Amino acid sequence: METISILIADDHKIIHNGIEDILKSVENLVITGHAFNGEEAVEQALTLRPDVIFMDIAMPELNGIDATRLIRRENSQSKIIALTQYEENEYVVHFLKAGGNGYLLKNSKKDEFVAAIEAVLNGQRYLNYQLSQQLLNSVIDNGSAPEKQVHLTRREIEIIKKIAEEKHNQEIADELNISLRTVETHRRNIMQKLEAKSVISLLKYASQHGIIDL
């Protein structure tokens, strides 16, 4: 049986350990690399050329979507599977458009990991049943492709409201009891989703859509 090499890219050691525990009983899978930020993920992907990369979306230095895009430019062989807590349609679509091959949530079970690996190595894309149905329902309900929709999560809406109150990132982090890095990641994602070039255009969108009252 041919050995399958795997690179794990996530900024939390506990996730690395968890993936290793899940996959250790599958005899032909070998963890050959660990990356703890997006830049390390790109460097190791291009150096090690693993068969499969599990890629977190929110990482320091470089987010997983941008890291995937950079890897794909130089490495057409490695299969990249998102492993993330973000289940919103726009994250799935952006990741796949960046060159990703599959998308898993961090609460996935062993059989989903194995199914995802097998699918992407066979040239298929993999989404678990929940995400597949979610994307399908979005297309049917909205009558258009999901990537053309702008969906803001509850947390993103909270952060937009704090921005409208002229709160700084650290103030937002303290008030929402989350880390500064998480706030920065959310702000960056919000700007990308809305294609906003400035806070003014962000707040204009929020006002027009009833998120805030200016």
Length of the chain counted residue by residue: 214
pLDDT score, position 196: 86
Does pLDDT of 190 surpass 70? yes
4, 49 Cβ separation under 8 angstroms: no
Q: What angle do CA 189, 147, 155 make, to 5 degrees?
A: 35
What global pTM score does this model have?
0.66
The three-state secondary structure class of 4 is strand
Nearest to 191 by CA among 152, 165, 161: 152
Q: What is the mean pLDDT of the chain?
A: 88
Could you tell me the two tokens for 146? 């999901």
pLDDT score, position 193: 87
All structural domains of the chain: 4-140 (3.40.50.2300), 152-208 (1.10.10.10)
What are the tens digits of pLDDT across the range 74-123? 998 999 999 998 888 778 888 999 999 999 999 899 999 999 999 999 99
**d(Cα 190, Cα 22) in Å, to the nearest integer?**
33
82, 57 Cβ separation under 8 angstroms: yes
Confidence of residue 146 (pLDDT cuts 50, 70, 90): very low
What are the tens digits of pLDDT across the range 192-207? 888 888 888 888 888 8
* DSSP output for 123-170: T--EE-HHHHHHHHHHHHHHSS-GGGS----HHHHHHHHHHHTT--HH
Average pLDDT over residues 147-174: 85
What are the tens digits of pLDDT across the range 37-81? 999 999 999 999 999 999 999 888 889 999 999 999 999 899 999
